[in-house]
Structure 1
Amino acid sequence: MKEQHWCPLYTSFQRLLLLLVLLCLSPSCSGRTWAQRKLPCDVISLNHSLAYDCSYRKLLQVPHDISWNATELDLSSNQIKILSSSSFWNLQNLTLLDLSYNFNPQEHPLKIEDQTFSMLDQLEALLLDGNGLCTVPRGLPSGLQILFLRYNDIRTVTPENFRDIPRIKVIRLSDNCQGSVCNGTLDIANHTFSSLTNLTNLTLSFNRLKAIPHFLPPSLQLLKLERNLITHIHQHDLSALTNLNALDFSGNCPVCSNTPFLCFPCNTPNGALQIHPDAFRKLSQLQELRLSGNSLKHLQTSWFDNLTNLRYLYLSFNRLVGEIANGDFLSVLPFVEVMDLSYNNAGQNSHNLKLSKNFSKLASLKTLHLENYVFSALHENHLQPLYSLANLSVLNLGTNFIYWTDLSLFEKFHNLSSVGLSENSLTFLSKRADVLSVNGYGWGYEPDIDRYGPLIHMDIFYRRHLPNIKPECLAYGPVLDLSKNNIFHINPDMLQGLNNTACLNLSSNFIGDMFNGSEFVHFSKLKYLDLSQNKVYLRYEHAFSELAALEVLDLSYNKHYFLVAGLNHSLAFLENLGSLKVLNLSWNEISTLTDKTMSSSSLQELNFQGNRLDIMWNEDLDFNNLFRELNNLTSLDLSYNRLHHIPSEVYDNFPKTLRHLTLSKNRLEYFNWTTLTQLPHLEELDLSKNQLEQVALIFSTLNSSLRLLDLSHNRISQLAPGFLRGARSLYVLNLSFNLLELINQTTFESGAENHLQQLSLQGNPLHCTCDLLEFHLWMRSNEVELPLLAIGVTCDMPMERRGRSVLSYDIEECVKDDNAMAFCILTLLLVVHVLLVSLTAHLFYWDLSYILDYCGAKLKHQCLLQHTDCVYDAFVMYDTTDPLASDWVLNHLRVELEERGERVRPLCLEERDWMPGMPIMDNLSNSVRQSRKTVFVLTEGFLLRGVVKMAALLVQQRLVEEGVDAMVLVLLQPQVLRRSRILHLRRRLCRRSVLEWPATAGPAAQRWFWHHLKRAIRKDQRATHASLHGTYFTGR
């Protein structure tokens, strides 16, 4: 009973102490840091700014505990329904406020009350995109400089809307009337923007405007009118915008035959945008002009006469084939650096490319995009006007359905570094085969020129580079893009002329070559080779050996021949690539290789995801050493390999130089954590999205350099106490989306032993009870970043708290006031008691010792005087006809119990103490009644005697009548009653009353036997079955 009451008492007392410590520590800890971590926001402090990122948090209102000195607040993509002046009453220092996308189309739009933002005097940027607003909010702060109102439902704007913000610089009002939901147009009143003398950036795209707004301020530097319904640009529409740098008129009169959007052709004589000859005359500062998607057939020279600063000209998706062949406008564009003339084909197919001789006058041209002109062959004379352009570095001829070209013609360019021939029909078989194709054997159809995204090539990176080229490819130098062609064989004779190429993209072709080291002999400077999405067959060890400078080789998505049974697949070529650093073998379904080991002294990164290591690491195969000889490997990605387990030999054969190991997205149920000792340089380990159920890891047992450990999306339900003990280098731990229900304080380290900087726990079914108090204490006392703590780390139990944050309940609920008072008093009494006992023991040690000894002796004497009605200590039954038994009883047992130690009463022996002449039954009955215990010394044949059975019945009768078990069995011989069920039952019920003489053991074991025998005789033992017998026989 004491234990049952003490355990809850101890637990509650422990909780009280934890709570007291927590309350004491709270003022000393960084209260501001804890308050920030309780918010459903990420807090970023940089120099003098304090930014709160509360986006994508499913918030219904503005959080109340945001610090007063916050300078930036992002509340985008939430579910806030209403805003008022009280929403930001204490945030007067805000300079940026993002409230975009708080509109739910199935409910009402975001409601913003008047004067909501008027108190935010320091506010410079206000973002209200995608909120379903019908009007511009009133009471905007006078210092506002940036206002975003895109993707709303504003139909009318007037000067009154912007009267309070004279300092505004950027207004974006695009996408307020677009699609089938808007049948009208955005109505812009006259002089709406005229008073905004600081306005430099105005976006009015996607609003179905039918004319350029009047009275625009001269301060404008960027004007975007993309995808409206403007059909005319008159002489004076833009004459006042003398400071304009960028003008976008794209998509006002699109070619509607292949547009993937709601298209309205222009109601003009030729269906094209009508531009006055002097429309751009006053725009002398213009640097970027976009006229794409306007059905233009002719370009007047007068448009560009005064555009002396024009650098970027976009003319794609028009009908300018004639202008490309004969245009004079090119002669007045000496400073243009980027020109896009793509998708100007009106449906006619040409065998040859025709370029105007005036292209040679584009002295500053650096990038030329000429996609979808559609011609079958590219000869040397076709690019004649471009050869003299010393600055031309990027030439994009993609999607032209070219069947033949000679790459040597590109040697005539002075500075060409990137050639784009992607999405053509090149084969590079032989000159004869390609000529046959050009003459009709492969040109019997009209190519499909439909293209999604008619207004492409508008991002800033596309000005300088080819589209769809990986940045890491561009970083190596000159690029040749031959991706998405019809190449199925590499002919070295046909790949000549671009010997300086550093990056060659051959992806998405039909290449099925068995490379033997002769295919790329003309690319001696090649460093990046992309052969992904082909049908490459790796068989010869000399493959790619001609590429001595190759650093990156991409062979991903080449599974065709790896799935064919019986073929040899060799990776021995790696030994010959002394400069190779990155190898991508992903998504090839590799299940077997000719070579059991990959060998390379230079390879640093290997991507091996999407293969079949679950087959290769089977017990019957011998691929456990597959990565052992990659002596310089630092990054290894083995995700998506369907691994259920990893053999222990594989762990031992991982390269010792590994720094990044990825095993995510497999089916691992166990991970051998001791392998970390074999990887002394490992810094990042990704085990996410597996089926791990426990982490039997304590870092103190390892000497690991691990910095990041990702265990997210597993089935981990518990962590070992002291899990992170000794993890001095681990900074990031991700345990999100597991099955953790309870987290103890001992799981993670505290104070100086805690080195964690970020701990992710969102998505776990935590039980928000008082057992989680220790975790609260740990969170408060350790400044560890817990992402999405306020909204992602939620309760699963109890039901009333399910889905709510672990911070949503008060931890002081765990200790009630009356219990706290009782525990306080109990603690005080306990302390006083300990002090008194310690002081008394120190001053009166010998007196207390004497008193305790005296009391102990008295109690012992009283115990020995009990049961004085017994004449003998024990009645010994033994086989008097057996010399061995008689000798042992008379010379050993009697001597030990009567002559040695403390003698209480003598033994009753048949040969010595029975009355001569008295019947055996009387002697037997008296001996059993007058003795405390009856000892049966069992030997072979002794139990067959009737007197033994009678004595056992008399002892059993005492058990029934007195409720005292008086039987003691001594097995003198080890083989006696080995199969007796009665003996086994007695061992189970009265274990201490069955003893066995250790005949073959030493003196120590015999002394231990005598001790137990004396104890069994002199101690009354009330049998567990005594009450049962008594109830049965007496009927009680």
Structure 2
Amino acid sequence: MRLSSVLSAAAGLLVVLLYVSPVETGKCPRVCSCDNSKLTVACMGKNLTEVPPTVDEITVKLDLRNNDLQVLPRGAFLHTPYLTHLNLQRCNIMKVKEGAFRTLGRLVSLNLAYNNIEILYQESFDGLSSLKELHLDHNRVEEIQPGAFTQLGFLNMLALTHNQLVYIPNMAFQGLQNIKWLRLSHNSLNNLATEAFAGLFTLNRLSLDHNELQFFPTQTMTRLPEVTRLDMSYNPMTYLGEESVSMAKLTHLYLDHMSLQDLSDMALSQAPLLSYLDLSHNQLRYLEPLSGPKELASLNLTGNRIYCNCYMRPLREWSRRGGVKLLGACAGPAHLSDEPLQAVAPLELRCRSREETLKEEFEEQDGSREPAPPTAKPKKKVKCPDNCDCDVEAQHATCEGRGHTKVPRGFPPKTQLLDLRSNHFHYLPASSFPGADQVVSLHLEFCKIHEIEGGAFRGMKKLFYLYLSDNDLTSLDPAAFAGAPDLTYLHLEGNRLAQFPGSALAPLPGLFALHLERNVISKLEPTGLLSSAAPKLRGLYLTNNTVTAIAKGAFNSAYLDTLHLDSNQLTEVPTDALTEASSLEELNLSRNSIRWVGPKAFQPVSQSLRRLYMDETGMEKMSRDSLAGVGAGLKTLTVGGNQLEQLPDLSPLTGLEVIDLRGNPLLCDCPLLPLRRWMENVSLEVTATCGHPPELRGQSVRDVHVFKSCPDSSSPPGEKPATPPKAPKTNKPKPPVLKASGVQARPVKAKAKPSKPTKTKPQKKPKAPAVTKQNKKTM
């Protein structure tokens, strides 16, 4: 009886313990429903105007659908640092303020679909270093500011469908180092910058269907080496020329429901792995055998008016030899009408006499026979220069690759996008574009231009984007851009400019971004460089020049926030040149020959600097005080692929979210103890490996035990022992730990508050008249 009494008492105690367990004691907002066993909170459709402040901090899934939040303020989720899934659909959100998600370092899925967001700001998504999926579909996004996605290094899928984008600028998706699928369907895209998708080296699926692209963006797509699936359907393209599709790993291409009337047999010659091609529901009458794809298994021609005569015989024989399945049916002649293409034998594809063929085709067009189904609304005939195409409705005109030696004249007066790339102009005289006063975006890439006379763009008072990339310019007339006062984005990369074109920029008071990559600029002098030439310049890109020297104060601008000097010939950090760049946030010095970083190297920009890149410079040593002054504001630091054996004290960098130390032969001995101690006490996954001594080579700094023998290994001299991070309270279930490869920020303190470095609010980016909601077909 005693034993049974003990067992009974134990069972009773167990019931009591269960009753008072953390599963029942968690906080739950009054209007929400909570499942403490699954750590989920649901507050759908409760007319909430703010994120409930009483949500339990250990919650991992929060559903706030169908509320009225409107604006997400800074630190909106400060009290829920362990969230992995957050649903904010249909919350009437109009703006995401800087730092709204800054504490959500474990979030893997964020759903912001069906809201009213118009602009993606530079730091809207700061802190989401573990995010895998971001849904921004069904909003009103019409502008992506530079750097909007730089913090999302682990993002796999980005959905921007059903928005109001008309143009994708260069480097728009910079920072998406692990992106697999980018969805841009159902926008109003009519132009993509050449470097729009630059840096997306892991992207394998791109959706651009249901947009307004009139030509295949060949140069843009060549920047996507890993894409296997590309959907371009429902775009108003009429023709694909030779080598239009140059994508080495592409396997699936969707070009259905367009307006294709012709397709060069060499259009896919640079897509050798293509296995599925959908050309259904176009306006093709016949098709020649396609050169290039060796793996093609299926070709869909359904819904085209294919005329099955002798002109189709080569395609049918080619498909039979290569085992290519043809989908679709013959539209004529009468005896083969509706016959599946796959079933028609090559010998049946015969041509009658020319008179009979013309008569039959005339009957079909005249209506004597059953009329062809309508495929596209006929376009209104407009005045257009010879050998060019103009579309009044889309306000586009293109003469791309037509062999012009002089700029054509006589474009429709309301033209806003003018594409003249890949011609042979050589020289642009004054007033080269009369009647183009409404043009917003002008493309002159690959035109072999070696001289631009002063006033060449005179009268182009609305010009906002000018592309002069990949020409033969060696210098610029001081008045080259006079007469285009609203020019904001200027692309001069890929020329032969030997000097910074300061005097030529003077007529452009609103210049925002200047691209000078791939020129031969070797020196940067301070006189008139920025303060007088481009006083409001925000982004300066000098990658891949031959810069060896930069004068003191060369970057004397109160607005400059992005400076790319990577892949040049610098031998030291240009500290003196940065003395007046008080707003600089991003500095890229990678791939220079900087072997030594001295004391206070970044002191002039220490308060504003957020992202610092110094990869592959051959760096052998960093002074102990090299990062002096750089503190909590720095979010990204990369020094990968160098020759560093030791590192300076990183403890002041309390705001770091990304750090890359990979590829350095670190000396795993007592001098490295501060780094080891720092690694153990930060909320970052840090990848660092030993290079010395030989017996530890390749091992993680975190795993080796050599530091246990170091004197005073418990704490550095003169300092108190480091306080270990607090664990979550014992009366609450511990949230799951998310593992992710690479380097990312992950909060470990249950109630840790992020540092708030003071920062000058950046000037609002000038808005192009062409990218407003009222007019979405400009560029």
TM interval, short-chain normalised: 0.3 to 0.5
TM-score (normalised: structure 2): 0.46
TM-score (normalised: structure 1): 0.35
Bigger helix fraction: 1
